[in-house]
Each structure stands twice: as structure tokens, then as C-alpha cells.
Structure 1
Amino acid sequence: MIPFTDLVAPVTDEDIDWVCELMQLKPLDEARREFLKVRETRDVSACPGSGKTTLIVAKLALLARRWKSSTRGLCVLSHTNVAREEIQRRLGGTAVGQRLLQYPHYIDTIHGFVSRFLAKPWLHSAGIPLTAIDDDLTHSARRRALTLKEYRTLNNYLERSFTSLERLTLSSMDFSAPLDLETFPCGKDTRMYRLAASAVGSAAREGYFCYDDIFVIAQELLSRQPSVAATLQERFPCILLDEMQDTSRQQNQLLSQIFRRDNESICVVRVGDPNQAIFEHGDEAGDDSFPDSPRSIAIADSFRFDGSIASLACRFAYTPILPTGLQGKRASEAQAAPIPHTVFVFPDDDATGVLSAYGELVLQHVPSDVIASCAVSALGAVHKTIERDPQDKLSPRTVGHYWEPYVTAKHPTTHRPESLIDYFRTAKQRARLGNTMHAGLERIGAGLIHLANLQSPPVPLRAESRIHRQLDGMLSLTPRGLRIYRKLIDRLLCQDEQIDQAAWTSWVRFIDELGVLIGGGQRDQPDAMRFLEWHAAPVEDTESAGQLAPAFNHYRYHYQERHVDIKLGSIHVAKGETHAATLILDTYNRTHFLKALMPWLSGKYVNGGHCDNDGKRRRLMEMYVAMTRPSHLLCLAIRKSSLGNERKAQQHLEQLQAHGWTVHHLNRDDSLGS
């Protein structure tokens, strides 16, 4: 096999100057230039706001510019398609950008790669149909395999064992015994196991698989045909894995088996931030830990925030940031005084003044143009719906206890809405927030494909990586369907037409017809008609007094003649975002979030040396993620009792102030106390 280093020339300083001019990048420091030049296996640990995605695109552009092979290519994998979208945005109009998006190069999600190159080929060779790789459709197929009585019996048993039929995962390609006996609540000879195995196995025989089932299928192929790994190494001699900290043990083991990092003929570059591994599987990389210190590059300076936020957040990095700690490089605007990063101390039984006090502080200190261009947020580690009890001495437990209208919403990139109109609303929102219509087009397409599958087509449709292109091609032979589809896009995204009930009622019959033309199903199917039903948005996008109403889950605070909309949500959902200001809310899970972190806030502890269990480690990482979201203002909202008894509280307050925090006590009768 020809080594990777023979397929691309070394990157020179002149090459870096070229890509900086092409992408309009600021001058790069030594660590970033080293990342762009490296042609050997490396791990890159990049802090929040370091421009990681932009650097990845720049590196890909440099490699593609000098690439020598027409049959071997770069492979870029992540958990989302952010890299592809960034290439389209930054380099879409250039020759090098077009080369990156075409054969022989491959840019997709980890799931997409495993499905295309491993799972689908094995299923085809084994004569097993592939009907759908989709969690919802697979769960439906499993339920259909049981009678109603059997399903209820099994479901009741699984619920008592704190699981469900939907949470069972395929562990073997032996469909007669497809479940892991170590994790299933009872033995193989029991009736409950036989029912569950029958449901999961029956769905698999019909070709229905959940998203994570593809890793089991891929492992089956590798175990039967070990040479496949060498074939993929030949096809992709350079692999770049983004957001490495969010890679599960299962994903990491499979990718490490294919692209061995001790193989000197290939280049494996893993990029991420170990301090942002806040998802449950983030620490399960197994023996192949990230980053690999002897072969790592650290990028520890952030363009998102200045030194004041960096110094507050740095002590919460679970893994110490070397060599100099987290650095903030955002240039501060000329101002009379620095922005006061503030701790709001509120009475245990009254958190109602927190958001208004925060809103007032934002309007007083954050520049208006920054507020207009970037979100102002309030985040909690716990945001699930919990009924508020006025007598509850542990309240506030969740984000909604700070503002009653808050509604728990699933992550927008993973949640499948229950109605098509919600797909369309999300599409309009994404198109408005982005620089292109791509995100909106993909969301419209996803909704239409789900509609088509609900219309009982002969074969369920599978969404490809670029859904709009897929639908446009499918409808090219159906002029009427293509006209309806393009007119729908024009009205939703180009004309930005408001969707009211009258408009929706007039659209439904055409959209129902469009679904049939896409999938070949039948009109007026009950599930499809429920999916097409009208319902109002939680907060209508209507104008009042010449002003747009606040968006969903946004609290509006008015101060004099100005206002600010504060976006409420969870820390997990905010990961990867940049905010103008961030307020971290004290929530409850076994203990109050900020109370548990008081030793770090007070300066007693630094980094993860004192995290003796997963709960402490997770809280520390969640705090780090939340504290590194804002560009200008960082705030905390903490219960008075979380500071400790009177003597301890005074001590903690003095320590907070010594570390750079401003402290405001909130009373019941005003916004900002003394």
C-alpha cells in the first residue's frame, strides 16, 4: 500500500498563506500551523471557540489542493454534517471545495460511513433485506411482531425492570437469539426473553434496524472478512475524526479496528475537546483514550471570550489545559469598566427575580449589536418537566422552575416532530438563522419523507445524506410533484410566508398528494392524516405593537425602552453554541448543581483531581461547557442555602469575589439587591 505521505506533498508556509487568504482567516499561531502541516497520526485537543471547524476545513482544503490520487481519498467523520456544511459555506464556490465534496473523498457522519461501507454490504451478501435503518420504523415493526396481549405483557415486565422494548438493542446477527443476556433482565429460557427476542428478531428479518444496530452488523462483517479493514485503509489513507470526545466505546472500537493508529501507512487525525465529554458515553472510549498525550497538539486559546471568562472557566476543565491553561483572545471593546461577571444569590423559596435581574444586567453591559447577533441564554443541567410544589424545600429543581412557561424540548437535531407543520416551522427558523437555505431544505425534506413512509408505501424510504437533492431527483420524472415541491419551498423559505390555519388547510391536500408521489403510498392514511393535522405553535410568530413576539422558550425582559430575549434550555443542547451572555441556573439532581461545585467556585479545587465518581466528573464537565458558551457576560444563579451556613456562606462569598465574581443578592421586592 502506498503510504499517505506519498499521496500529498508537505504543507508549506506559502500553502498556509494561500488558504488563509482563500478563507479570510486571521494570522495563525504555531499550534494551529502545526495542525495544518501535520501528515502523521495525531490527536488535536481544541478548546471551545478555538475555530476548530474552520481549521478542519482549512486543512482539508490544503490536502485536497495537492492530492495526487484519483481513486483514494480523504475520509472525514463526525456525529453531524457540520464539516460538510462548513465546506459548502466557505469553499462551495471554489475548485478545491468542489473536489472535497466529490469522489474519491468522503465526508459524512460515523453512522453514514458504517452503514454505507460495512452494514449494507454485509446485509446484501447475507441475503437479508434492508427495509429501513430508522428507530421509529423499527420499533413499530417490533410491536407488530407481537399480539396486543403479548406486547402489553412484555412491556409491563420491561417497565418494572426500568427498560422498554424500544431500548432493547441488537447484540447478535443470530436473529433467534439477538439480545445480550448480560443486559436483559431475565434468562434465555424465560417467556419474557422469548417474546423480546421474537420481536427484535422478527423486525430484523424483515430488514428493520435501529441506527446503532448498524455497528453490530458492521462488526459481523469484520469478524467474517478481516480483509475489509485493509481494503478501507487502501481506499481512505487519511481519516479525520471530529468531535472525538463524543464517540462511544462501540464506535471507537469499530473505527480503531479499521483504521489502526499504529499503522504508519495511514494518517488518523482525531480532533475534539476531552473536557466537553458531557454525553453519557463520552468517557467510554476504552483503552484507546483521547487525547493520546505523546502524539497530541493542544490549541488552548479561544477567540470566543476574553481572559476574564477564560480564568473563571479554566479551573472547571476536568483535564488540565496545557501548557498555559485556557486563554481568552477576544479583543474587548473600549468601555469605561470591565463587564461584571455576576453571581445572583436568590432566596431558596423564590427564584422569580433571577431572569429579570439577569436581563437588566445584560442590557446594561453587553453591547446592543452583540445582543442582536448572538443569543442570550439561561442554561440548566436539569431541564425535564417536574411539577413545581410550593412546599418543596429543594426547588428550583429544573429550568422550568425559574420560568413557568418553559417547555422541555428535545434536541432539534435529533428530535422527530409529531406533525409536519413542526418540521416546516423548524425549517423556516433554521433558514432565517443560517446564511443559506440548506438547513431549511433538509428539514422540509425530512418531514416529507416521514409523511411518505406513513402513507404505507410498498418499500419504506430512507433519507440520504442530502435529502433535498434526493427528493429533487426522485420527483424529476413527476412534473406535477416537482412543481408542488418547488412551490412549497418557494412559499416557505423564499417568500417566508407565515403559516396560519387557513393557509395550512389549503396546503394539506397538495402535501398529501406530494407524499404519495414521493413514496408510492396511499392518500388519506390515518397515521399520515394525523401527521398532517394543524396545531398552533406554542408561541405564534405574530407581530404585536410593531414587534415580533418572543420565540419559543424565550423570556422577554423590558428595561426602559429596550428589551432582551433570554433563551432557556439545557446545557447539553447548548454544547457547541456561542452566546452573547450565559446564565447558569442552579438545578437539582441528587444535590443542587452549584452547591456540588462550590469547592471549585471557591478555589479549593482545580480540575478533576477530586472527582471520585462519575456524578462529580459529569457536573464538572457540564459546568465547563456552560461557562465557555458566552462571548461577553457570564453569570450564575445560586440558591442562598447552596452557599452553606451563615459563616460558610460569608467565606464563600468572599472567595467568589476574590476570584473575580461580582455578587448580587436578590430580594423578593426588587430585581437587584445590594
Structure 2
Amino acid sequence: MTIPLITPEDLAELQFLTPDLDFTDAERQAVLLAAGPSDVNAAPGSGKTTVLAAKLLLLARQWPHDRRGICVLSHTNVAREEIERRLGATAVGARLLTYPHFIGTIHGFVDRFLALPALRSLGLTVDVIDDDIFAKKAIARAMKKPSLWGWAQNDEGVKPLVGGLVYRGADLVLDSEGGTLPKTTAKSYPLLTEIKEQLTSEGVFRYADMFAFAEMLLTNFPDIKVQLSRRFPLVYLDEMQDTSWEQEALLARLFDESVVVQRYGDLNQRILVGKGDFAQLSFPREGALPISTSKRFGPEIAAAVSGVRVGGNAVVGTAADVHPPTLMTYTTERVGDVLNRFGNLVLDRFNDEQLRRGHIKALCTRKQGDAKQQTPGRTLLDYWPAYLEQSKGNGGRSERLWSLLSQSAELRVGGISMHSRAADAKRAVVLVLRAADSPHIKGLRDGSQLFRRLADAGQDVKGIRRLCRELATASNLGAAEAGRAKAVELFTQYLHPLLPVGMSTAKFQALPVFQAPEMQPEQEANQRACQVKRGDRLVEIEIGTVASMKGETHLATLVLESLGHPSRRFDLAEALPVLAGLKLRDPKMSESILSQFRNLYVGMSRPTSFLCLAVNQTRVSADCIVALQGKGWVVETLA
């Protein structure tokens, strides 16, 4: 199999193909020229996905095969959309967006080529693949069984256990992502098995179930590996740090030694792999190519980020420094005022135009916990108790139609970009079509694939695009009765061709999905954001976990300290002496604390201009404060 080689002469073409980007540095050029199997370990803000897209553009110009293609897999739709946007901007690059090539998420690839064929071979169909929906349905069934209901009254871990029921391995062994199952001889075990089997027969699955069905197909039909290897002789894997051992083992079974596999990621951002054997994860292999320069921030933030890395090269910030990193120390009594003080620091540093264009966010590794004996600063709820009510929501914001359609009239209030609005609009359409039991979206996981799914089904997508545009640009459709009535009319007008045969307008408009919310969307939004006002000026701080903001870029970021589990150590108490240069990170540090450092690395690498850390003053020494000030940090005291 001949794979086109990229030469130094080819790199000169990038100035015409991507005139807005610069790939002249040695590290990026080495990545672009790499021809064989290789790993790329890239710093946050280095533009690794953009580098990959540029490499694909060069390959597209020379790709000689009509039935063999390039496979590009990522964990996130954001990365996929970035690649598709770059490729779609040129006629040559657009060739890679169609057969025989595949660009999508790992989950999408597994579903399309393995899991869904496996399910069809078993006579099963898919209604929905969604963790939240599965959990809601599973728990509802469990609470109708007296013995499980009684168990749940005495053990708060039962509902997460039931909601997380999942298949593992080629033999479809029952497991749970929400806890440890009882022994197979326990009286509750057959009940749990029954719940899982019932939902399976109804086509309701968790995301991880698809990997088990994929393993089943590969075990029963090993020749699939040969077929996939012939179809895709060149494979790129993005966001490798988020790949679990289970996923990595499956990916290794998909392609043989004839396939060139190149993997991109950042080992320091490995925070989403869940349970598993970290020692078996192979990324990055020895000799990985680095991209150590970040275009997101300047040297001062880069030095702070480098201070909490667990491996790899130090991050080099090539942007200009804007504001020095800041440490906010607070007394226990003032923990509830931390967000307000941060808002005022932001107002001191940025004008209204900068605030309008940028994201201001506060993040914490842990949302909630049970360490009541520890000094506050333990979880997000210590700083913003209202977040708990939002986290208790019925299935999450992505499952509530009117929450998705409650955007402000301002296109960037609260950091809500038009991209986010468009994503919410497509998700809203999926929720309505799913509620109507539309046959055209069976198995559709989220709104990112809506247009493609409908086009593949031979449906006219123009009307749905128009609907999504109207939903995204309208203001506060979900906030009041008049707005909700207007939204229902829009759904009725545009979705009629996609509804089941015989569904009347009256029946459609009476669907439960259109019922008025118990909690007003603006109240819910207030639980996710903190508004700080000073005179006639205002800044809105979006609040969330580190994991929820992974991959984002902010104007200013507040990283709130948290108590680790199971380490029972505070992350910043461990990290600040290292950042101050008072001690080196312990090379024998436990995996639990290493995970806390990786979360700090992700959180601290979000901002372009202003990084602030908040720590209880009882957990930082005077020597540490002096040392940080000597390194250029500003220290703010909230007492």
C-alpha cells in the first residue's frame, strides 16, 4: 500500500492552503513530515488539531486511492468539527469528508463499523445511546421493585450503581460504571440483570455498551480486522490522553501491522479515562514528537502550567504576557466571597469590550463530596452552593428542552457563543424528534450528527437547518410562555415531514417534552453563573468542573482548590510549594495525587490573559507566598 509522503517542498504549499497559520517552527514541521507510526505529545494551546488538519490537507492533494481512505478519530466533536472546517474550506481538503475516508469520534467509528452491525446480528435495534437517559430509565424501573427500593433507602450508592449498569467484554458481562455489583449469588443480582436486559430489548444503551458489542463482533468475526486495515491504511488518533485502557485495547484490535497509526495528545491532560489500569496505557511512547510551544498564553502562565505537569517537556508560552498569575488566599469565613472577589479582579483588568469577546470562568476539580470534617475549600459547593440544585436537575441541562432554548438576546452574554447556541439548537431538535419517536433518528446520539443522519436517510435538510438557525438566533424562547409557544410552532412547521405517519399536530404539540419547566431556565442559568456588578459594569462568571471545561480557551480563569478522593489531600496545598520552587514533586507520588496535578494542569492552562488560584489561607505558608511573589505572582488576601 502506497501512502503519499509529505516533503519539505510540500510544506511551502501551506502558506497558500492555510495563509492564516504558521508552521515554520522545527517541532511542527517534524510532525508534518513524520511518515511512519509515531506519537505527538502537544502542549495545551499548541494547535495540535490544527497541525493535524494541515497534514491532512497536504495528503489530500496526493491521495491516489478511490476505495481506501484515511481514518481520523477523536474523542470530541469539537476536534472533529475543527478538522472538518479546515478541510471543507478548500476543494482539495473537502475530498476527505466523503467516502472512502472517515473523520469522526472514536464512539462514532465503533458504532458505525462494529457495534451497530453486532446489534443487528442479534436482532436488536437502537432507540437511544445516552448515559443520562439510560440511568433515568434504569433507576425508575429499579424503584418499582420493592427490594431494590428498600436497598436504596439505606444506601445512597444504589441509584448510581443501577444507573451505571453496563456490558463489558465480548461475553457482555454485566458491570456498573456507578459502583460495584453485588455477588451473582445475591438476591438483587437477578433484578439488576433483568433491568439491563429489558432496556437492551428496548434499545436503550450506555455509551460504553457499544464497546462491548464491538468486542463481541471482533471476537466472532476476526476477519473484520483485515477488512478495516485494507479500508484504512492510514489512521490518526487525536486526544489520545482521554483514551481508556479498554478503548486502547479495542483500537489495537481494529488494525494490523500494515496500517500506519499516528497518535496525538497530551499526557498531562489525562483526566477523563475513568477506572482502569493506568500503567497499561501506552501513550506517549518513547521518542514521541513534542509540540511544546503554546500560542494561547505568555511565558508567565506557561511557567505556572509547567510547574504542575507530571511528564513531558516544559510548556513554552509564545503569546505576550497580559497579567501576572495571581494567588487569592481566603479565610474560612470568606469562602463564599471568593467568586465575587475574582469578579472584581477581572473588572480591574479588562474593559467591557474585552469581557464581551472573552470567556470568564471558575472551575474546580470536584463538584461535591462528603468530607465534612475538613476546612472549607473542599468542593465547588463550598464556593457556590447553588450549583448543587443545578446538578440535581432532571437528567442534566442537555435533556431539558427549555433550558437549551433560553439564550439571552446578546450573542455573547455569559460566554455563550453562536457555536454553543447552534449546538444547543440541534440538541433541542433531537430531543423533540426523539420524544415524537421519529423513525429518522433511531440511535442518534446527539445533535452533532443530525444533519448528516437526515441527509443519509434521503431527507431534505434545508428546513431543519433553517429551524436550527431560527432557534439559535431567537432570544429566550424557553423563558416565558409566549416564547415557548413560538418555539412549539416552529417545531411543528419544520419537523412535520420527519414525524411518524399519522401523528396529528395536536398530538405532537401535546408531547411531554413541550411541558412548561418546573424551574425557570433563568434560575437554572443563575445556578451555573455568578454575576458580579460594580457601578454600571458587570461580569458574568460561568462555574463548573475542570472536566466540563476541558478543551476550552478563556480570557480569565479562576482555579478553586479542592480535596482529592481518595487521596484526602488538597490539590493546591500539594502544588503551591512546587510552583514556588520550595520543593520538587515527589517522583513516587500516588496516582490519586498525580490525577489532582493533571486536573490543575488542565484548569491552569485555559486562560489567555489572567490566571487566578484560590486557596484557604490555612493551607499555604508564609514562605510559599514570599517565594511565589519572588517569581512574579500577585497575592490577594480575602480576610
Which category of TM-score, normalised to the shorter sequence, fits these structures? 0.7 to 0.9
How far apart are residue 573 of structure 1 and its match?
A: 1.7
1:419 lines up with 2:400 in the alignment: yes
Q: Is the 8 A contact 1:7 1:69 kept in 2?
A: no
Letter in 2 for 1:300: S
Q: What residue number does 1:168 align with?
A: 165
Mapped to 2, the partners of 1:360 and 1:145 lie a distance apart of 48
Q: What residue number does 2:24 align with?
A: 28
How far apart are residue 616 of structure 1 and its match?
A: 1.0
Offset from partner CA, 1:427-479 (integer Å, 9 cap, x none): 999999999967645533332333333345679722275203444776958xx
Q: Is the 8 A contact 2:408 2:475 kept in 1?
A: no
How far apart are residue 247 of structure 1 and its match?
A: 0.6
Mapped to 1, the partners of 2:416 and 2:388 lie a distance apart of 28
Counterpart of 2:484 (choices 504, 511, 514) is: 504
1:117 lines up with 2:109 in the alignment: no
Counterpart of 1:318 (choices 303, 310, 315) is: 310
Offset from partner CA, 1:604-662 (integer Å, 9 cap, x none): 34456141x2321111111111221121222222211112xxxxx32222222233322
Q: For residue 466 of structure 1, give the secondary structure of its aligned residue in structure 2.
A: helix
How far apart are residue 385 of structure 1 and its match?
A: 8.7
Q: 5 Å matches for 1:513-524?
A: 517-520=497-500, 524=507
1:234 lines up with 2:230 in the alignment: yes
Q: For residue 347 of structure 2, give the secondary structure of its aligned residue in structure 1.
A: helix
Q: What residue number does 2:633 align with?
A: 661
1:637 lines up with 2:620 in the alignment: no
Letter in 1 for 2:543: L
Mapped to 1, the partners of 2:467 and 2:327 lie a distance apart of 48
Q: For residue 580 of structure 1, give the secondary structure of its aligned residue in structure 2.
A: strand
Mapped to 2, the partners of 1:317 and 1:446 lie a distance apart of 36
Moved more, 509-518 or 204-213: 509-518
Q: What residue number does 1:304 align with?
A: 296
Q: What residue number does 2:592 align with?
A: 615
Counterpart of 2:103 (choices 85, 107, 122) is: 107
Q: Which runs of 5+ in 2 are unaligned?
A: none
Q: Is the 8 A contact 2:42 2:266 kept in 1?
A: yes
Q: For residue 629 of structure 2, give the secondary structure of its aligned residue in structure 1.
A: helix
Q: Is the 8 A contact 2:169 2:212 kept in 1?
A: yes
Q: Is the 8 A contact 1:46 1:299 kept in 2?
A: yes
Q: What residue number does 1:47 align with?
A: 43
Q: For residue 558 of structure 2, give the secondary structure of its aligned residue in structure 1.
A: strand
Moved more, 15-24 or 98-107: 15-24
Aligned-residue CA RMSD in angstroms?
3.9
Letter in 2 for 1:11: I
Q: What residue number does 1:271 align with?
A: 264
Q: 5 Å matches for 1:469-480?
A: 469-471=452-454, 476=459
Q: What residue number does 1:379 align with?
A: 363
CA change 1:623–1:515 in 2 (3 A) is same
1:14 lines up with 2:6 in the alignment: no
CA change 1:134–1:350 in 2 (3 A) is closer
Q: For residue 349 of structure 1, give the secondary structure of its aligned residue in structure 2.
A: helix
Mapped to 2, the partners of 1:411 and 1:108 lie a distance apart of 32
In the superposition, the TM-score normalised over structure 2's length comes to 0.86
Q: Is the 8 A contact 2:139 2:159 kept in 1?
A: no
CA change 1:533–1:242 in 2 (3 A) is same
Letter in 1 for 2:451: H
Q: 5 Å matches for 1:5-154?
A: 6-8=2-4, 10-23=5-18, 24-135=20-131, 138-139=134-135, 148-149=145-146, 152=149
Mapped to 2, the partners of 1:179 and 1:560 lie a distance apart of 55
CA change 1:427–1:166 in 2 (3 A) is farther
Q: For residue 383 of structure 1, give the secondary structure of its aligned residue in structure 2.
A: coil
How far apart are residue 393 of structure 1 and its match?
A: 6.8
Mapped to 2, the partners of 1:283 and 1:188 lie a distance apart of 22
Q: Is the 8 A contact 1:430 1:439 kept in 2?
A: no
1:443 lines up with 2:429 in the alignment: no
Counterpart of 2:575 (choices 590, 597, 605) is: 597
Mapped to 1, the partners of 2:153 and 2:490 lie a distance apart of 41
Mapped to 1, the partners of 2:348 and 2:614 lie a distance apart of 18
Q: Is the 8 A contact 2:126 2:203 kept in 1?
A: yes
Q: What residue number does 1:291 align with?
A: 284
Offset from partner CA, 1:404-448 (integer Å, 9 cap, x none): 555665699x95534312233369999999999676455333323
CA change 1:286–1:225 in 2 (3 A) is farther
Mapped to 2, the partners of 1:162 and 1:469 lie a distance apart of 36
Q: For residue 522 of structure 2, give the secondary structure of its aligned residue in structure 1.
A: coil
Q: Is the 8 A contact 2:130 2:206 kept in 1?
A: yes
Q: For residue 170 of structure 1, give the secondary structure of its aligned residue in structure 2.
A: strand
Moved more, 63-72 or 18-27: 18-27
1:328 lines up with 2:317 in the alignment: yes
Q: Is the 8 A contact 1:429 1:440 kept in 2?
A: no
Aligned length: 626
Counterpart of 2:450 (choices 452, 461, 467) is: 467
CA change 1:239–1:27 in 2 (3 A) is closer
CA change 1:441–1:563 in 2 (3 A) is closer
In the superposition, the TM-score normalised over structure 1's length comes to 0.81
Mapped to 1, the partners of 2:439 and 2:104 lie a distance apart of 28
Identity across the alignment (%): 30
